[in-house]
Amino acid sequence: MPHRKALAARQESPAIIYRSIRTTSLDAESPAFHSVAMAQCEMRWFSQTLQMRVQTTVLIPDDFPPPYSTLYLLHGLSDDHLTWIRMTRLESYASAFPLLIVMPMGFRGFYTDNDAGPAYAQYIGQELVTKIERTFPARPDRISRGLGGNSMGGYGALRIALGFPDRFASAHSHSGALMGGSRNAPASRLGEEGVRIFGNSPIGAAHDLLHLAENAKAAGRLCHLRLDCGVDDFLFADNQEFHARLAAMNVAHDYLENPGNHDWGYWDQQIRPALKFHTQVLAPPG
């Protein structure tokens, strides 16, 4: 019970933190790698929301007792459900944490319910969660669910966590395209694809992360947020703006600037502290 009380207290009043980290390598944080002790499951299932078969990769801890809290880890625009496994040492890092890690196929829809296309937010935020909790030893409550991702997946993690504030307790973004739904005329970067996803006027709609954060805060259901970006990333200015806008709204979040670019070297470095962040927020195993 003391742990539950501590979690409840943290949930009510997370701090706004701004840090600029100047590490020069992954080893500067922790030189040790953990032996891999996780089962890997490849799911192929039919999504009623998308009306098609989809694929999902799941990492299951071997060294911790079930049931587990779950991290839904989302990929970027040009990637798929296997890219986090292929391009980083995620499995080695994750074996030290008591988290079920779920990596779904996210397509190119920014994990939001597209204006002229599939309802990707419903697919991840509702349908996938139900599927995972029926299939694996996952805890079925808010304090046991987190989201994270890189680039498009960083936007998606916040879109789903803030859009379903009663379902998720934590979310992180690496190099997220966080302002994509908070500006009108989003076709400037994505062309007609952007219009199909966000429409022409997404400000104030469900695509707008700032709008969703404001609503979640007003409802007293704001999740814990961790944002980071490399200082050489083409989305660095967007991340700075998003951080400043959240701070102006008194929306609690952690924001970190690090050396790095928009690439897998940077995301490999940042996923380990993100796993630690979720473990500190979410319910323990067993």
Residue bearing tokens 């039919």: 46
Q: Is residue 264 part of a domain?
A: yes
Q: Are 233 and 257 in contact (CB under 8 A)?
A: no
Paired sense of beta strands 145-150 and 224-230, if any: unpaired
Residue 277 Cα distances to 151, 160, 223, 237, angstroms: 19, 18, 12, 24
Q: Is residue 25 part of a domain?
A: yes
Give the per-residue pLDDT at 33: 52
Q: Please report, in tens digits, the pLDDT of each residue of the chain (286 residues total).
A: 444 434 433 333 333 444 433 333 333 344 455 556 689 999 999 999 999 999 999 999 999 999 999 999 999 999 999 999 999 999 999 999 999 999 999 999 999 999 999 999 999 999 999 999 999 999 999 999 999 999 999 999 999 999 999 999 999 999 999 999 998 865 456 788 999 999 989 999 999 999 999 999 999 999 999 999 999 999 999 999 999 999 999 999 999 999 999 999 999 999 999 999 999 999 999 8
Give the per-residue pLDDT at 48: 98
Q: Is residue 175 part of a domain?
A: yes
Q: Can you give the residue range of the structural domain that contains 40?
A: 2-281
The CATH number given to whatever domain includes residue 155 is 3.40.50.1820
Q: Are 230 and 236 in contact (CB under 8 A)?
A: yes
Q: What CA–CA distance (Å, rounded) separates 223 from 242?
A: 16
Indicate the pTM of the whole model: 0.89
Q: How many residues does the chain have?
A: 286
Q: Are 94 and 275 in contact (CB under 8 A)?
A: yes
Number of domains composing the chain: 1
Alpha helices in the chain (DSSP H): 2-12, 83-87, 90-94, 120-122, 129-135, 152-163, 187-190, 192-198, 209-218, 236-248, 264-281
Q: Is residue 286 part of a domain?
A: no
